[in-house]
Amino acid sequence: MAETKKETPSPAPDAWTKWVALSTTLLAVCAAFATLKGGSMSTQTQLATVAAANKWSYYQAKSLKETARDTESTIIKTIEASAPNAEAKAIARKAIDKAEEEVKRYKIEKAEIMKDAQYKDSYAAFCQARGSNFGLAIMFLQIAIMLSAIAALMKKKSFWLVGLSAGAIGVSYLAYAWPLYERFNTLPIEPIHAAEAAPPKATK
């Protein structure tokens, strides 16, 4: 009579491996969200940097025009001093007044442009610093996911615990960079120009 072979039951998986799968899933979700927000901050940094560069170029163009008009005014003043008659002096004075008026206008425009350029620079720095925190969150979360995967493959609980520690750091960076960053760091305020701040004229 043939003896029936008894099948040895496979060892039950450790209970902690179930938590590895759950924690890895949650860490992956956090990493995906941090990547999305970090990419958004990177885009905003690039846009603000380009906008600031354009504003500074515009500022430089206004400076060149101001210098040209100032030089023109100086030259005409010399001509005015050597003008042979009153009519010539009057024409020269009119040209001087026009040049000086344009110099004043360029100074005002430069001040407004500088405000915009400095705001864009500050906003770019703000977004870059905030994006760096998202980058650190991504790094620690990826390390945590890697260690959790190694723990599941090698059945080493210690790797998982270390991974959870790295994940906690990553989640902390994510929490700071996302909902808490603006509470601890001042968001640059967009400047108000003189034309915008002036009250509207009353209509008769």
Q: Which residues in the chain come in under a pLDDT of 70?
A: 1-14, 194-204
Flag whether 125 is in a domain: yes
pLDDT digits (tens, 9 = 90+) for 75-90: 988 888 887 888 888 8
pLDDT digits (tens, 9 = 90+) for 84-122: 888 888 888 899 899 999 999 999 999 999 999 999 999
Report field, pTM of the whole predicted structure over 0.75: yes
Enclosing H/E stretch for 35:
helix 16-81
Flag whether 176 is in a domain: yes
Number of independent structural domains in the chain: 1
Range of the domain at 152: 18-184
3-state DSSP assignment of residue 166: helix
| CA-CA-CA-CA dihedral for 155, 157, 163, 165, to nearest 10 | 180
Flag whether 178 is in a domain: yes
Flag whether 171 is in a domain: yes
Q: What is the pLDDT of residue 1?
A: 41
